[in-house]
Amino acid sequence: MNLFLKGILLSSAAGMATSLGAIPFLLFRKGASEKFIDALLGMAAGIMLAASAFSLVAPSIELGGLLRFAIGFFLGAILVDLMDKYSPHEHFLKGHEGAELKRLSKIWLFVIAITIHNLPEGMAVGVSAFSDQALNIAFAIGAQNIPEGAAVAAALLNAGYSVKTSFWVAFLTGVVEIIGGILGSGIVSISRALLPYMMAFAGGAMIFVISDEVIPETHLRGNERLSTYFLIIGFFIMSALDVVLG
């Protein structure tokens, strides 16, 4: 199979997993407790962290050495930081940032936040299609997208959005990851020499998102210990899967 196409297919499969997490809320038509949301986000963070470390960071260093890894890793983190600073958005539950943002629709602010959060994940899957880590990364991103999709849908329902809107916004998370997969696969398909840079780039971007967006979100409502244990559970699950999947 063409590796570029493989990257798109894998990122599509991983991205669509967000809908699986949102489906229960489509059926039961109600939100969830803050503890439940924080636990889901904590588990997603743990899965992402393990996937970044074992399937992106380590292979990048092995393929390209420390210098190439450092260049890609810091560029990935810096790019997401710039996107976060200069794109108007709101975090999952924090609310608006700045008076000028109040003129924009809440739902579009939320969609922009999802774009910032999930684009690096799609890129990671697309890039990994050119390495031996393709299935590991796709499975990891898909696995963490299920609790993340559930958390997004639950948070929107709790904020007063309709069931349909909550589901489709969660679904858009998957669409964004497909776009990221196309970007990641497209860049590496230009030159295989870019693979270690791009794996490091995706790892840096994902770790920045975990630290700057996901973990702080789970520590806002007094559920720090619970979300931390679920992060550890998520990290263990992905570590075990990494061993099983080889």
Residue 168, pLDDT above cutoff 80: yes
Burial of 228 (0-12, 13-18, 19+ CB in 10 A): middle
* pTM for the model: 0.79
Residue 93, pLDDT above cutoff 80: no
60-64, 94-98, 164-168, 208-212 — which one is most confidently predicted on average?
60-64
- What is the Cα Rg of the chain in Å? 17
- The pLDDT value recorded for residue 221 is 81
SS (H, E, C) 118-176: HHHHHHHHHHHCCCCCHHHHHHHHHHHHHHHHHHHHHHHHHCCCCHHHHHHHHHHHHHH
- Concatenating the DSSP letter of every residue in 194-224 gives GHHHHHHHHHHHHHHHIIIIIHHHHTSSS-H
Q: Three-class SS of residue 91?
A: strand
Q: List the one residue out of 115, 74, 88, 106 whose CA is nearest residue 203.
A: 74
Average pLDDT over residues 176-203: 90
Summarize pLDDT for 108-129 with one digit per residue, the tens: 565 566 666 678 888 888 998 8
Name the strand (E) or helix (H) holding 55.
Answer: none
Residue 246, pLDDT above cutoff 70: no
- The pLDDT value recorded for residue 104 is 41
Position with higher pLDDT, 18 vs 235:
235
Mean pLDDT of the chain: 82
Name the strand (E) or helix (H) holding 90.
Answer: none
| Residues making up the chain, counted from first to last | 246
